[in-house]
Amino acid sequence: MIELRFDEKLYDGFAVDEAAKTFEPFATIAREREGGAFILRVTIEKSAADDGHTEDEVAAELANYALGKTIEKRGAGA
């Protein structure tokens, strides 16, 4: 299990949630909000591991997706 923390001052909550939903085919993702952060606990699915993916890889891609979606959402409002 890998824990990702997204500071709510930096990340859009809807973007973090969208990233989690997008990566659910690859991982079980527990969501929590605590101390000014959106927390995702990522555990790779067996099928994703069998396809050659690692938990680190899935978590990193999810974090990158959340960042991209945050930038996209903020840019749309500018």
pLDDT in tens, 7-57: 999 999 999 999 999 999 999 999 999 999 999 999 999 999 999 999 999
Residue 77 pLDDT grade (very low, low, confident, very high; cuts 50, 70, 90): low
Cβ(10)–Cβ(44) below 8 Å: no
How would you label 3-20 residue by residue, b for 16+ Cβ within 10 Å and e otherwise?
ebebeeeebbeebbbbbb
Residue 75 pLDDT grade (very low, low, confident, very high; cuts 50, 70, 90): confident
Let me know if residue 77 belongs to a domain: no
CATH number of the domain where residue 39 is located: 3.30.70
Find the angle CA(68)-CA(74)-CA(76) to the nearest 5 degrees.
100
The pTM assigned to this predicted structure is 0.90
Domains contained in the chain, number: 1
> 27 versus 74: which is more confidently predicted?
27
The owner of tokens 């990566």 is 23
Let me know if residue 76 belongs to a domain: no
Let me know if residue 63 belongs to a domain: yes
CB atoms within 10 A of CB 43: 13
Residue 68 pLDDT grade (very low, low, confident, very high; cuts 50, 70, 90): very high
Q: Range of 9's domain?
A: 2-71
